[in-house]
Amino acid sequence: MSLNNALREIEAIEGLISPYEYFSYDAKMFLNALRELREALNVMDKGKIKQIMDGLSRIEETAAPYRGYGFVEEAIQHSKKLLEELKKVVGE
């Protein structure tokens, strides 16, 4: 169940920030990380999932220049939920 929840959170985040992929380097890098995460989840590569989780845990630092925009705040909340679901997936 956590895997499905994690995939839903990934989709929600992608929907929020994908329109900005070509305007923001940070958005592009974050979307690339989400794509890698989706691939890692499909093959259950727990090592890769944990590696990506480390990067996702710094989302608030990365998003700091963009704070105040509604879609950014919403993406941050989804990212926090995603991290919680990923912890369940990898057994932390």
- The total of other beta-carbon atoms located within 10 Å of residue 37's CB is 23
- Write out pLDDT tens, residues 28-65: 999 999 999 999 999 999 999 999 999 888 888 888 88
pLDDT above 80: residue 15: yes
Does residue 91 carry a pLDDT above 80? yes
pLDDT computed for residue 2 by the predictor: 87
Alpha carbon distance, N-terminus to C-terminus of the chain: 15
DSSP H or E stretch at residue 31: helix 25-43
Comparing C-alpha atoms, which of 71, 86, 92 is closest to residue 2? 86
Between CA 80 and CA 48 the distance in angstroms is 18
**Structure-token pair, residue 67:** 């704070």
Stretch 18-29: mean pLDDT: 93
CA pair distance 66, 20, nearest whole angstrom: 12
